[in-house]
């Protein structure tokens, strides 16, 4: 079993950390908010006061943080992971950040002997809790092979996509599709509701056909139950779509559909719903169509 550090214990990170512990690994944790650290310590983890302290004591150190600047600060900042460098340390980032940032961090860490894997995940809170995430990885084959047993503890699929940054490029592609799915689901549910058809029956009718997708399996039951809590927070989906659009600019890729999707999430945030689930973008359509998903059918 390995000695592992995990930094960033939000909705996803805390569940991933728990699954690493369940697999028998020794876990050292650090987080800006202390409450979740204390909870994980009560479950068997140990606490550290800084990313440097985490890195000094482990074989693998994970991060799962909101955005590129947060990761840069934890890795390269004062008392950062880079200051805890030692032979054999492998850095694994489960965050979704800019591919260029992932490549830059890998280059800086390589200078002090740390192998870096950008390893963003997909599967939401359900996948994180159940250990069924999909993990998209960029980095060296040797580091990937060493990390594979850890990926097995938290995911159902893990693929080395290419060199550093390739995992984040794969996540960009993933978020193009996820964002479009959330918007397509919202349009479909509101179309059925507005046309006087039971949306739950509509979903039952189409979910095994050509429209079948994870989103159609997982999100409608929550929406029908009035549950719009995350999940995956809308402001994080919006941030990820910003990374998608930035990547399009960097490589000269036209992304007209994603631009519209991003604008719909911008509208959702402006409605004050940034902390809701990404599927709650349906609220924008409820406003546009002047109907609520839970209204009685006419």
Residues serving a catalytic function are 171
Distance CA 52, CA 157 (A): 30
Residue 38 to residue 55: CA distance in whole angstroms = 19
Tally the residues of the chain.
298
| Cα 127 to Cα 19, 63, 236, 239, distances in angstroms | 11, 17, 17, 20
In this structure, what are the phi and psi dihedrals at residue 88, rounded to the nearest 5 degrees? 90, -5
Q: DSSP alpha helices (H): ranges in the chain?
A: 11-22, 34-42, 51-57, 68-76, 99-110, 124-130, 141-154, 166-194, 199-206, 214-224, 234-251, 256-270, 282-289
């Amino acid at each position: 079993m390995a000695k592992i550090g995990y930094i960033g214990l939000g909705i996803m990170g805390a569940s991933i950390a728990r699954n690493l512990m369940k697999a028998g690994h020794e876990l050292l944790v650090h987080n800006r908010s202390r409450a979740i650290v204390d909870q994980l310590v009560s479950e068997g983890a140990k606490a550290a006061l800084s990313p440097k302290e985490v890195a000094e004591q482990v074989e693998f150190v994970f991060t799962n943080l909101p955005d590129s600047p947060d990761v840069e600060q934890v890795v390269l900042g004062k008392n950062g992971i880079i200051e805890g460098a030692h032979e054999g340390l492998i850095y694994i980032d489960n965050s979704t950040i800019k591919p260029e940032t992932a490549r830059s961090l890998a280059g800086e860490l390589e200078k002090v002997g740390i192998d870096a894997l950008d390893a963003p995940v997909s599967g939401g809170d359900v996948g994180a809790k159940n250990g069924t995430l999909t993990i998209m990885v960029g980095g060296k084959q040797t580091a990937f092979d060493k990390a594979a047993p850890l990926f097995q503890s938290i995911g159902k699929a893990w693929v080395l996509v290419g060199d550093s940054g390739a995992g984040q490029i794969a996540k960009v592609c993933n978020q193009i599709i996820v964002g479009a799915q959330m918007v397509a689901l919202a349009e479909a549910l509101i179309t059925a509701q507005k046309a006087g058809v039971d949306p739950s029956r509509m979903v039952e009718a189409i979910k095994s056909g050509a429209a079948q997708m994870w989103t159609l399996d997982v999100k409608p039951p929550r929406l029908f139950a009035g549950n719009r809590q995350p999940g995956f927070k809308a402001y994080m989906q919006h941030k990820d779509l910003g990374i998608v659009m930035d990547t399009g600019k960097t490589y000269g890729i036209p992304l007209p559909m994603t631009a519209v999707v991003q604008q719909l999430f911008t509208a959702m945030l402006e409605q004050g719903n940034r902390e809701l689930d990404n599927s709650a973008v349906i609220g924008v359509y409820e406003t546009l169509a002047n109907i609520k998903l839970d209204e009685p059918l006419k």
